[in-house]
Amino acid sequence: MSAPTPRSTRRYLLVALLAVPLLLAFFAQRAYRLALTPLGEREGEREGEARYIDVKPGEAPRALGRRLEAEGIVRHAWAFRLRMRARKPVLKAGCYEVAPTMSVDDLIALFASGKVAERVVTFPEGWTNAQCAERAAACGFGTAEDYLGWADGGRGSLGVTGLPPGAGLQGYLFPATYRQPPTAGIEALVREQAVHFVAVWRELTHGVEPAAHKRYEYVTIASLIERETGRDEERPIIAGVIENRLAAGMKLQIDATVLYALGGHKTRLLYSDLQVDSPYNTYRVKGLPPGPIDNPGRASLAAAVSPAHHEYLYYVRGADGKHVFSKTDTQHNQAVAAARAAQKEGR
């Protein structure tokens, strides 16, 4: 067997030199493709279980990739960074629901879509803090007890100023639909309600803040209006009736305050109900109740701030659901009799 010539040796070296980079590129490409695939099922991995990641505004791909790797969402941060550089997506900040079954491409597409994970809850106008607490718990925000811990002021006023000593936030938690990331807790939800109230209040008062005690009176009146009528056109008129009765030194005699004192709902109040011993019973106590009896909406707050000016002192709900307003006791008694007669005929 003849020895290899210098020329053949150089040929082998040249082939080897060419082959090594190709092999390295081949294995690097395989490693890169593997790094882009879902983690899937591995030791200690909870495949398919939802978890959440917050994409921060303007967060660099390097930092985000490191967090994704640390959270066990991607295999390697460098692969996420390279894929981001290749695709150049615009990521949208927010909280996203992810799983180890998602590939890097899946994650990038999700972060670019803006389809953030969120919990949604709607608080109707006129609900008490206790009712809101139950709804928040049912929607997965936390426990009702935790909600009340914040809403009743036991853990702070959440930026609401001018509250009387010992007063909770009932009346100041604006009723609306709220969307929160799943990682947010009860405090964030209640705080957003309080912030929303402040924003609405400033709009209604045009930024001119009345004295703290006066604002508390307005909110309390608004909570009464909210329970007395569901008709926007009647709210300012009822606000005017409340204002007139307070000015005349008359008891307000508002059924909603009795129901609040009783702690429940009844379709019809009995005479014995009107005797309930409570500072909220405006049939027995003159003036406004100690505080709001619910969380009023914008229309009721607006009516309390700007009541209609008239001479009405009474009102009663008619058979058609509309209220009949009267200036004198005689007129009111006639309206009550007519309403009762109409109800009997409608049975």
Which of 21-35, 57-71, 100-114 has the least mean pLDDT? 21-35
Identify each DSSP E strand in the chain by its residue range.
51-55, 94-98, 119-122, 177-180, 314-317, 323-326
CA distances to 80, 102, 125, 126, 145 from 112, rounded to whole Å, are 14, 15, 36, 39, 37
Same domain assignment for residues 172 and 138: yes
Among the candidates 187, 204, 221, a domain finishes at 204
Residue 42 covered by a domain: no
Domain count, the chain: 3
Axis crossing angle, helix 298-305 with helix 186-204, rounded to the nearest 10? 40
Residue 25 covered by a domain: no
Same domain assignment for residues 220 and 304: yes
Whether residue 27 has pLDDT greater than 60? no
Helix (H) or strand (E) holding 300: helix 298-305
Residues 54-64: tens digit of each pLDDT:
899 999 999 99
Residue 189 covered by a domain: yes
Same domain assignment for residues 196 and 147: yes
Same domain assignment for residues 216 and 172: no
Residues 248-293: tens digit of each pLDDT:
999 999 999 999 999 877 777 888 889 999 999 999 999 999 999 9
In total, the chain counts a number of residues equal to 347
Residues 183-204: tens digit of each pLDDT:
888 999 999 999 999 999 999 9
CA pair distance 303, 238, nearest whole angstrom: 8
**What would the mean pLDDT of 102-128 be, rounded to a whole number?**
92
- Asked if 171 and 291 count as a contact pair (C-beta separation under 8 A), the reply is yes
**Bridge-based pairing state of the strands 314-317 and 323-326:** antiparallel
Q: Which of 134, 135, 118 is nearest to 180 (CA)?
A: 118
pTM, entire model: 0.78
- Asked if 260 and 293 count as a contact pair (C-beta separation under 8 A), the reply is yes
**Domain coverage including residue 58:** 51-113
Other beta carbons within 10 angstroms of residue 221's beta carbon come to 27
Could you tell me the CATH number of the domain that includes residue 73? 3.30.1490.480
CA pair distance 295, 12, nearest whole angstrom: 86
Instruction: Locate 116 and state its tokens.
Output: 């953030």
Residue 334 covered by a domain: no
Same domain assignment for residues 67 and 141: no
Same domain assignment for residues 218 and 257: yes
Among the candidates 143, 169, 204, a domain finishes at 204
Same domain assignment for residues 164 and 238: no
Residue 323 covered by a domain: no
Helix (H) or strand (E) holding 258: helix 255-262
CA distances to 17, 33, 34, 182, 334 from 25, rounded to whole Å, are 13, 12, 14, 43, 96
CA pair distance 216, 163, nearest whole angstrom: 7
Helix (H) or strand (E) holding 65: helix 61-70
